[in-house]
Amino acid sequence: MPIWAYDYGMARAATTADTFNAVAEPRRRQILDLLAQGELPVTELVDRLGLAQPQVSKHLRVLREVGAVRVREDGRQRLYRVDGRALKPIFDWVSRYEALWNERMDELEAVVTRLRDQEDGR
Amino acid sequence: MTSTSRAAVVTLPTDDRIVITREFAAPKHLVYRAWTTPELVAQWWAGRQGRVDSIEIDLRVGGRWRYVMTAHEGMEVAFHGEYREIVPNERIVSTEVFEMPGVPADQWQGTLNTAEFTEAAGRTTLTVLVQCPSREVRDAIIASGMEGGMQESLAALETVARALA
């Protein structure tokens, strides 16, 4: 599939779009950043974010719904962690977009180098 | 002189912006020429994704541009826009609209792109800023995969996605 088709329409899979929307919210990105450093209980997230627990729980629920965050029981605690698999479509997208621009810039550099050599040789 | 193959860097500095930067071992007037001359644009714009069919450039404020290519898979891909600001060898501001196949033209969504050429010690840094004009457009772009909602850089994303996969 051409990268443009991927970028602009054909890959509008609901699950991917949901993940994009889920992580588009700044607080949820903060939560992902914190959990990326290791598992945390919700109380710890509440402390670090300075938010009320219901808000944090709501964000965690959204993140869990798209699979970006997993939870496990540990005694009386519930520990949250990031699941990179759900974030991979986003990473893949940026990678593809960057790959396209890398290709363009490489080709542009080839053109510019020819122009420079022509000018130098004049 | 060898050309150093420096990678383009894509960052997502705010919720509605994408920035692409790349350095070239050449003075900026040459990078600008390659960026604005149809025969030269035809040599780089498609990357390695396909064949460029046509490049039209009317390089003046209010002038239009339209680029068309055929991807390897056979799909025709076209973009067009209008020049809003032109400072030769320095800066070009233009709109960019993807002519989305199967979608009515009045529903196509565009961005405002700024290409800036800055030179230091004979090397040129090209910076392309893609500004999404509204939350609605931004959300549509996010939904289609052109992620504008992440503030993290690619590096941060990579760290998260790779380390935790």
Query: One digit per residue, pLDDT tens: chain A, 122 residues?
Result: 333 433 443 333 344 556 767 777 778 888 988 888 889 999 999 999 999 999 999 999 999 998 889 999 999 999 999 888 877 766 666 566 677 778 899 999 999 999 999 988 86
Q: Which of A24, A89, A107 sits opposite B44 (nearest CB)?
A: A107
State pTM to two decimals: 0.64
Domain ranges of chain B: 9-164
Q: Is A69 on the interface with B (CB under 8 A)?
A: no
The helix or strand, by DSSP H or E, that contains position B57, with its residue range, turns out to be strand B50-57
What letter would DSSP give residue B106? G
Mean of pLDDT over chain A: 80
Q: Which structure tokens are listed for B110?
A: 């565009």
Q: What is the pLDDT of residue A4?
A: 40
Q: How far is B31 from chain A (nearest CA, A)?
A: 6
The third-level CATH classification (topology) of the domain covering A3-120 is Arc Repressor Mutant, subunit A (1.10.10)
Terminal C-alpha separation, chain A: 43
CATH number for the B9-164 domain, one of 3.40.640.10, 3.30.530.20, 3.50.50.60, 3.30.1960.10? 3.30.530.20
Q: Is A38 on the interface with B (CB under 8 A)?
A: no
- The ipTM of this complex is 0.74
What letter would DSSP give residue B1? -
Query: At residue B156, what is the residue type?
Result: A
**Taking phi first (over 0 means left), then psi (-120 to 50 degrees means alpha), and beta for anything else, what does residue B89 get?**
left
The residue-averaged pLDDT of B88-108 equals 86
Q: Which structure tokens are listed for B69?
A: 């290519």
